[in-house]
Amino acid sequence: MRAQWKRFHRILWGCSGAAWLLCCAGIVFVGKKQLPVLIAVALMFLIVTGVFIFLFYVSRRESKNLERQAIAIRTAPAEEKPAK
């Protein structure tokens, strides 16, 4: 399960990077001639950044929770064994 979250991390970086690249290219190529389009692309850049930060935080938190659960599962059988 942890490997899936790591894969999600990589996909998240790739998709966010592509979205940032498209937004930046749009901002550069639109210029000041079409102000509403420029504002829309800049707003999209901010939204993409916010969504990236939120998803990155959630994926790191979930990955750490899974790691703690795995450690607890590994140590549980050692604690349950009766002393002879």
What per-residue confidence (pLDDT) applies to 1? 64
Split into its structural domains, the chain has a count of 1
For residue 24, give its domain range: 2-74
Q: Is residue 79 domain-resident?
A: no
Maximum CA pair distance of the chain?
Answer: 83
Q: Is residue 67 domain-resident?
A: yes
Quote the crossing angle between the two packed helices 35-80 and 2-30, to the nearest 10°.
170
Per the prediction, the chain carries an average pLDDT of 84
- Look up residue 79 and give its two tokens: 């604690």
- Look up residue 55 and give its two tokens: 């998803």
Q: Is residue 41 domain-resident?
A: yes
For residues 18-35, average pLDDT: 87
Q: What is the pLDDT of residues 46-75, one digit of tens each?
A: 999 999 999 889 888 888 888 888 888 888
Q: Is residue 84 domain-resident?
A: no
Buried b (16+ CB within 10 A) or exposed e, 34-62: eeeebeebeeebeebeeebeeeeeebeee
What per-residue confidence (pLDDT) applies to 53? 93
pLDDT at 28 over 80: yes
Q: Is residue 53 domain-resident?
A: yes
What's the predicted TM-score (pTM) here? 0.71
